[in-house]
Chains A and B, each alone.
Chain A
Amino acid sequence: MQFMLLFSRQGKLRLQKWYVAHPDKLKKKITRELITTILARKPKMCSFLEWKDVKIVYKRYASLYFCCAIEQDANELLTLEIIHRYVELLDKYFGSVCELDIIFNFEKAYFILDELLLGGEIQETSKKNVLKAIAAQDLLQEVSYGDTPVEL
């Protein structure tokens, strides 16, 4: 996977994870173009889009679009499953997740993604293990230094 973007129905970026090195300017350009292209597609169309030299796989969950760019020979259907797994994890962690949870706790959304994928490849197929690792790290934040957990 080359990158993953989360954006809202209104076209606002909610999360971006890049596994390829691009200058900031190019990242912004890609993001902008993709958001416009995907938002223009009708709901009944398929979830795949051939775009430049990558394949875009996207899916809408409520008000949020989850969008991944994968290599030409990657399994598109599996990417949909990865997106779904990520949504399930967010759901479990936040307790029926909504867009606001991801806005106000964007760092948590990144942390969860980083326990599911690493370098753009799936690293853990057990939901339980991902959530266990996140919970343990959250706890470590609380107790790590004396009595002063830092609230962000």
Chain B
Amino acid sequence: MNSSDHGFNPAFNMAAIKQVFNEAVERVRMPTPMRLRDLIRQIRAARTATEEREVINKECAYIRSTFREEDSAWRCRNVAKLLYIHMLGYPAHFGQLECLKLIASPRFTDKRIGYLGAMLLLDERQDVHLLITNCLKNDLNSSTQFVVGLALCTLGAIASPEMSRDLAAEVERLMKSPNAYIRKKAALCAYRIVLKVPELMEIFLPATRSLLSEKNHGVLITGVTLITEMCEHSPDTLQHFKKNFSVVLGKGKKSSFKECSQEEIVPNLVRILKNLILAGYSPEHDVSGVSDPFLQVKILRLLRILGRNDAEASEAMNDILAQVATNTETSKNVGNTILYETVLSIMDIKSESGLRVLAVNILGRFLLNNDKNIRYVALNTLLKTVHLDTSAVQRHRTTILECLKDPDVSIRRRALELSFALINSNNVRIMMKELLLFLERSDPEFKAQCSSSIVLAAERYAPNKRWHLDTLLRVLIAAGNYVRDDVVSSTIQLISESVAEQGYVAAQLWRALEQDTCDRQPLTQVATWSIGEYGDTLLYGDVSVGDDPSDIVKVTEEEILDVYQRLLWSPQNSVVTKQYTLLSLTKLSTRFRTNVERIRQMVQQFGSHLHIELQQRGVEFTQLFNSHAHLRPALLERMPPMEVVRRDNGAQQQAQHSAVNGVLDIADVNTDESAINNDSNALLVLLGGSEGVIDTEADQANAKPPASIPSSTDNQDLMDLLGNLDIGSTAPVAVNNMNMNNNVHSTNNNNPLLLDPLGSLGSLSTPTQPLSALTSINPSSDTNCIVAYEKNGLRIMFTLEHGDSPTSISITMAAYNETSMPISEFLFQVAVPKTFQLQMMSPSGTTISSSGSVTQVLRIQNPNKGALRMRMRISYNSGGANVQDQAELNHFPTDWYQ
């Protein structure tokens, strides 16, 4: 090209000539860069990821150099290549400013690519926004409609609140442009601006009203979209449109606002919709025989908002909705799209009852449709309408229950929610049967939510206690470890208050407990609790299970103890479960007629357990077999029936939890105030007194006991009381170390009942041993237990045990919080080499109170007997700070994998 050629052409000004000239010079100076399609070919030809990366890195380096040298002739080609590279996932932020330069260029290709790049590389978070706002402002004033169009499109995609404020006036001006192409884009830009900055709505109101008197479908649909958004988010604007619409159409008179309040925008929309339906075939807007479904749906939606809670407006649209509902061709998706929207509108406005029946029938037909999408939509919509017209939806119950078996998770989820909404006291038996079947077969992701919902529904509609209990037991069996804690506590509460059914329940639970229940911890907890409470009925009460009176559970004390032995020592059981079991076992000692000695031995073994909570309980309960044996029957009496306190007392329970300060987890079960019994209160006083004694003793030795003794006045029940025994026990140990033994014993003589426990505890040396073992683990002497991680007051211990087969290892992870602050959102993750298989059970909790712990069981298969290594990732929140850490663990004792 030659610049002198253009000298005769007056259309080219000096600037243009200059640019053409510069480009010619640059083209000589710089080699032509690779074309976009050649780059794409090269990238696609790469055989490996490394090869691809090489090609891209090389090209990126080249592109950067051209950017540095301000090569404006090929800038658009280079940015286009960069956009392709960006789509492949490579960084491309260095092209942001180049996009702005392209936008500023007068050449249309440059602008087109520049705006495309701006939409892809910038979003509303970028600082370059001031620059782009200026570019947009220029182009919004361009005389070329497509340049204005590009600017509007970009503004609609990346508008930030600041940009919206700066450019709202420009957009408003363009909404009144004589050019429909610009008007429709400006209307959608206004929609985005209103979405971002609602207070800018007002400036658009006058221009918006006239959009509905258009013939052009583009302008109509964007106008309806804008009005919908405005009405949905501002009740004032909704009223404004209902009242003032007439003014623009020029039909209403100011004096008759009141009378024609709802008569203007609604009839206008109704007319547009009617014209659409009645219009003959128009190829431009037709989709498989339906006239402009996009516009129809938008109008139906706006009608819904206008008719909501407005009888007059609803009345005005009844006819057209009926017409659409009956006349729409439904063989294709597009017809059903419109029907779907129509049904939603009918259900939402104050429509005639006949119309509602029609709508529910449409949904019924949808449910039977072969197309899965239509069925999904039907379930979704029925869920929205079920509270309005339950009986109509009930008719489709069988079909809905059938959808629970659908292989598609989206459909199952919808069907499940709808099924729960349909339960009432008439159908609860049949519905629950299906839902329990679903629960048994469902994916883990459903189990937690589904089991909690079943429990709620059962509570609400249970026909009788027996049925209610059976349902809860089936939930515990079917949902296994996915059952939430609330189910455990509500089941125990129900058992406690159903006095007549307790024998039956204990027998049922015994049957469940006989099988392996390690994947059903919540069930085990409920079962041991019940057997502990009602074990005597189970053993000596001759209760029948089910309807057949001959089906009697015969069980001996030995059988029960064998099962308890397994539960207590199986590594698959969580610590909480073991706590339940240990307490239950202790309770059984007063229910059994023989075998008390065996129970004592089993309990005593826990006195040296590695887990501190269990050890504490072991030591405490042992006391009840030794010097405090006379207290045992009174202490371990059956719990009185718990009062029915349902959900609303949640806050109260919370308060009680904090009062007992996490002394015992089992407090969960016992927090009800009704559980306080007088015996334990009496003992509480005794212990309160004993603390005083220790204090005096320690003072005599001029040394304070190392453990601070919390006031025990808040303690309200048995378990807290036992917790206190432990706190007492740390003090005497210290006293003991200071050779205060004699003093303690001498005081003992004064008040034998009071000080006996202190004497025996003081002379106990066992509890200190495992404690020291915990603090200084020596792998050679105790290969069973290793410290896997210790940092920032978080200590993670692994207890290793052999699994069912010689190649499997079961690790119980216990995380101890040794800080003064609670740890929340605790997440423990483990990765093992590929030759291993790892299975992680759900943790006992995600929150660790100060000096508390959580546990989690890991099962590892090691078929190749390789050296066991693992990498751990730990994340938690402590005092508001998120902590994340990783650690490698290579020091597993070799005999565990060889």
Using CB atoms and an 8 Å cutoff, list the residues of chain A in contact with chain B: 13-19, 21-24, 28, 42, 44-50, 75-78, 80-82, 85, 103-104, 106-107, 110-111, 114, 118-119, 121-129, 133, 136-137, 140-141, 144-152
Contacts and interface: CB of A to CB of B under 8 A. Distances in A.
B285 interface: yes
Nearest to A137: B146
B124 interface: yes
Contacts of B19: 145
A46 B372 contact: yes
A interface, over-half SS:
mixed
Given A17-B157, A77-B333, 8 more contacts: A46-B376, A50-B413, A103-B40, A110-B119, A122-B225, A141-B112, A146-B12, A152-B35
Contact of A48 (B1, B295, B373): B373
A22 B411 CA distance: 30
A78 B341 contact: yes
Contacts of B153: 114, 118
Given A80-B333, A110-B116, A140-B108, A46 B192 contact: no
Contacts of A44: 372, 407-408
B35 A151 contact: yes
B483 interface: no
Contacts of A80: 333, 337, 373
B63 interface: no
Contact of B293 (A78, A123, A124, A150): A78
Contact of B23 (A124, A140, A148): A148
A149 B73 CA distance: 11
A42 B109 contact: no
A152 B77 contact: yes
A96 to B, nearest CB: 20
Interface stretch (B216-224, B683-691, B752-760): B216-224
Given A78-B341, A111-B112, A146-B20, A125 B77 contact: no
Nearest to B78: A152
Residue from B12, B112, B408 with most neighbouring chain A CB atoms (10 Å): B112
B694 to A, nearest CB: 56
27 contacts: A13-B89, A23-B125, A47-B372, A49-B410, A75-B301, A75-B337, A76-B376, A77-B336, A80-B337, A81-B293, A81-B333, A103-B44, A107-B80, A110-B119, A118-B222, A125-B294, A125-B295, A126-B218, A126-B285, A141-B109, A144-B107, A145-B108, A146-B20, A148-B1, A149-B109, A152-B80, A152-B113
Nearest to A113: B153
A45 B89 CA distance: 29
A25 B721 CA distance: 53
Interface of B: 1, 6, 12, 16, 19-20, 23, 35-37, 40, 44, 73-74, 76-77, 80, 83-84, 87-89, 93, 106-110, 112-113, 116, 119-120, 123-125, 144, 146, 149, 152-153, 156-160, 181, 184-185, 188-189, 191-192, 217-218, 221-222, 225, 284-285, 287, 292-295, 297, 301, 333-334, 336-337, 340-341, 372-377, 407-411, 413
B112 A137 contact: yes
B117 to A, nearest CB: 10
A133 B152 CA distance: 15
B76 A150 contact: yes
Contacts of B144: 140
A20 B758 CA distance: 68
B485 to A, nearest CB: 26
Given A104-B40, A107-B113, A128-B284, A146 B372 contact: no
Contacts of B107: 144-145, 150
Given A110-B116, A126-B217, A77 B225 contact: no
A23 B91 CA distance: 13
A133 B149 contact: yes
Contacts of A17: 119, 157
Contacts of B301: 75
Contacts of B157: 17-19, 118-119
Given A78-B297, A133-B146, A46 B87 contact: no
A141 B373 CA distance: 42
Nearest to B300: A75
B221 A122 contact: yes
Given A21-B158, A77-B333, A145 B407 contact: no
B222 A123 contact: yes
Contact of B337 (A81, A126, A150): A81
Contacts of A22: 123
B108 A141 contact: yes
